[in-house]
Structure 1
Amino acid sequence: MKDALVVGTGVVGTSVGLALRAHGVRVYLRDADPAAAKIASCLGAGTAADPPGAVDLAVVAVPPALVPGVLVRLQGEGAARHYTDVASVRARPQQEAAALACDSARYVGGHPMAGSERSGPLAARADLFDRCNWVLTPTADTRTDTLNAALELVAICGAVPVLMEADAHDRAVGLVSHAPHLMASLVAALLERGEERMVSLAGPGVRDLTRTAAGDPDLWVDVLGANALVVADLLEELSEGLEDAVAGLRAMGAADEDKRSSGARVVGDLLRRGRAGRARIPAGPGAVPKRYEEVTVVIGGRPGELARLFTDASRAGADVEDVRLEHAAGRPGGLVRLSVPGDRREVLMTALHNGGWRHR
């Protein structure tokens, strides 16, 4: 790939430009907002100008509802030899593009499973797509060289290509992205109504849970509208679980001991199923999901203590997947929570005991 045109200089489009430029590809930028294109250009994502002729690949990085119209206009002006996009829904844009007589042979839909709750070019990073899944949805009409151009883009951006049908993709992202985003927004909406003193107690758990709720509402209305029925079905399933949880909690608060026991079983079952579902999430693209367990270690405030802990964990052969630090109020040190594969938990605990660490 020698040159490319990126249309739309938000966080994803600008990140695509930065990744391409890092590999020596000439990139031309276009945006309905000239100021956004200029910022992306100043960041090094490309030149805010139209290319002198047809480029190797045009990347359409606009909201899903705008993709068909932009795609057809680009093809009408002969902007590129091949075309792709980065929309987070696939079926409707492809159907609408076909209805507008788009040349489907030279277009393949795409969706990098990466992004940010922040928007705009200033949130872009050249490494945004490193090791992320990048879905491509070729059809029977897609030319081989067009698919290869999109695969080259994925490779340059450091992502992992995943080929899927458009409908299957939309069902998948509904499950792992769109419905969770709405649930994060529902929890965050509770915080909006909470008293300031209550909200001030929020810690990393609720921040992690509601991170995606900070996204652009207008953009998400567009995304959810293009996948509305899939997401509605998933939320209906969630509502059944919420009803069970409410009934179980009310029973746990009852005076009758049998009711309390029954409610505890319902809530406990929900928590266990949630833990099992969380364990199915792979550590990375192509990885086999592992079961992780947490080991909590008490540390003091001495210099180098955290480094010594990591060294001891490494010598024990414990692959630490995640680390959370919790400082103790009013005194140095605190707790370090290490997430490790379940089959290494006992080994790590033995090593920590032998190293004189206090753990639980």
Structure 2
Amino acid sequence: MTPIEDTAISSAVVIGTGLIGTSIALALRQKGVRVFLSDRDPSAVRLARELGAGEDWPSDRTVDLAIIAVPPQFVAQQLLDLQKNDTARVYTDVASVKVLPLDQAAQLGCDLSSYVAGHPLAGRERSGPAAARADLFLGRPWALCPTPETTPAALDTALELVALCGGNATQVDAEQHDRAVAVVSHVPHVTAAAVAARLSEASDTALGLSGQGVRDVTRIAAGDPSLWTGILSGNATPVAEVLEALVADLSAVARSLREFAGEGAAVSGVTDLLERGVRGTGRIPGKHGGPARTYAVVQVVIGDRPGELARLVQAAGETGVNIEDIRLEHAPGLPLGAAELYVQPEAADALADGLRRRGWHVPV
């Protein structure tokens, strides 16, 4: 643990030791911040503490920063309770909607000058402290939504929190934030859940034919339903608007397909959506937030054995080629699978040749 210098945050309390709260605590601990933990579930605090995220919080202890990591609908009341006890100099939260907690905080009479609404856009399909990682926020966007009442000192402290956790701070209006996350986070989750829900009724034959595509589309659908119900209800109108537009697109495709099946008509509606999908995918920021890049894929056959992926990564490193991403696909019923290594196009041949020389099977 490296002590921090010239910083406004030497101590912090994390209220809510779930995935995000515990990950923040772990990141701050690595930077030498003294972290206290609190949660209505004592077992969650105990597990977070055992993971090295911090220590139990004496409720009369004051700190530099209080981080409220609870569902959106509970943020404002938690903020009020903390401020009544002068818990911290500055307060922030990590809820994935911002208009609701800010409106409720104003209605409750909270001190908005010391509060900076925040939202780190990082997460996993798993939840709880056991899924926490100190590096969860590295390079990830972290929205901060200061109000006209927010003091410069409070904003500076929030910016320091983001920096200590390795995130990229973005200041944005709360309403603009909620409309943005409806498009890039909330509706994608609902859509993934809708696709996954079809699988609950699918035949064993269909499931036996499932490949990496359906796994990619449905991965985030494994998130905690109760948590996501709170998130979606807290951002109800923007999410509903985007869903209605999505439904209109899907309905148009369905009509085109039925017309094609019945009369042989052109399926221009289908092509239009697919082309817009390609353009939209191309607009997603790439590595380090820069423009999206098109990578070459080198596929390598690997055995389904302990340590096999580590051996492959080591062999790839020996070739001197930087691996941008890795995806795995298992072969149903067979003790092997395929690792897809994503690299810069100009490096693909060197990686493939280097791996073949080291005994790996790389299909041509």
- Structure 2 length normalisation: TM-score? 0.85
Please, which of 224, 230, 238 is the counterpart of residue 222 of structure 1? 230
Structure 2 CA distance for partners of 1:51 and 1:193, relative to 1, 3 Å: same
Kindly indicate whether the alpha-carbon contact (under 8 Å) linking 1:138 and 1:147 is maintained by their aligned counterparts in 2: yes
**2:290 is aligned with 1:287:** yes
Kindly indicate whether the alpha-carbon contact (under 8 Å) linking 1:281 and 1:289 is maintained by their aligned counterparts in 2: yes
Matches within 5 A, 1:100-179: 100-179=108-187
Match of 1:195 in 2: 203
Q: Deviations over 1:145-200 (max 9, x none)?
A: 11111111111111111110101110110000000000011001101111234223
Letter in 1 for 2:203: E
Matches within 5 A, 1:326-337: 326=329, 337=340
SS in 2 for 1:193: coil
**2:50 is aligned with 1:47:** no
Pairwise CA distance, 1:358: 7.9
Pairwise CA distance, 1:37: 1.2
User: In angstroms, what is the RMSD of aligned CA positions?
Assistant: 3.0
Q: Deviations over 1:2-34 (max 9, x none)?
A: 111111111111111111111111111111112
Structure 2 CA distance for partners of 1:180 and 1:195, relative to 1, 3 Å: same
Unpaired segments ≥5 residues, structure 1: none
Letter in 2 for 1:269: D
SS in 2 for 1:62: coil
Structure 2 CA distance for partners of 1:123 and 1:309, relative to 1, 3 Å: closer
**2:74 is aligned with 1:66:** yes
**2:193 is aligned with 1:185:** yes
Pairwise CA distance, 1:82: 0.7
Kindly indicate whether the alpha-carbon contact (under 8 Å) linking 1:131 and 1:160 is maintained by their aligned counterparts in 2: yes
Unpaired segments ≥5 residues, structure 2: 1-8
SS in 1 for 2:56: coil
Match of 1:20 in 2: 28
Q: Distance in 1 between matches of 2:124 and 2:332?
A: 32
Pairwise CA distance, 1:218: 1.2
Letter in 2 for 1:102: C
Please, which of 70, 74, 89 is the counterpart of residue 81 of structure 1? 89
Q: Distance in 2 between matches of 1:231 and 1:126?
A: 30
Match of 2:3 in 1: none
Match of 2:107 in 1: 99
Q: Deviations over 1:216-269 (max 9, x none)?
A: 111111111111110111011111110122123223434x4x52xx12x33233
Letter in 2 for 1:117: E
Match of 1:36 in 2: 44
Structure 2 CA distance for partners of 1:338 and 1:245, relative to 1, 3 Å: farther
Match of 1:208 in 2: 216
Q: Distance in 1 between matches of 2:125 and 2:336?
A: 31
Q: Which moved more, 1:349-358 or 1:144-153?
A: 349-358
Pairwise CA distance, 1:77: 0.7
Q: Distance in 1 between matches of 2:149 and 2:180?
A: 23
Structure 2 CA distance for partners of 1:321 and 1:271, relative to 1, 3 Å: farther
Q: Which moved more, 1:106-115 or 1:189-198?
A: 189-198
Match of 2:98 in 1: 90
Match of 1:4 in 2: 12
Letter in 2 for 1:230: P
Q: Distance in 1 between matches of 2:35 and 2:74?
A: 21
- Structure 1 length normalisation: TM-score? 0.85
Q: Distance in 2 between matches of 1:320 and 1:339?
A: 6
Pairwise CA distance, 1:332: 9.1
Kindly indicate whether the alpha-carbon contact (under 8 Å) linking 2:328 and 2:337 is maintained by their aligned counterparts in 1: yes
Q: Give the number of equivalent residue pairs.
A: 347
Structure 2 CA distance for partners of 1:295 and 1:309, relative to 1, 3 Å: farther
Letter in 1 for 2:277: G
Match of 1:269 in 2: 272
Q: Distance in 1 between matches of 2:353 and 2:47?
A: 54
Kindly indicate whether the alpha-carbon contact (under 8 Å) linking 1:29 and 1:50 is maintained by their aligned counterparts in 2: no
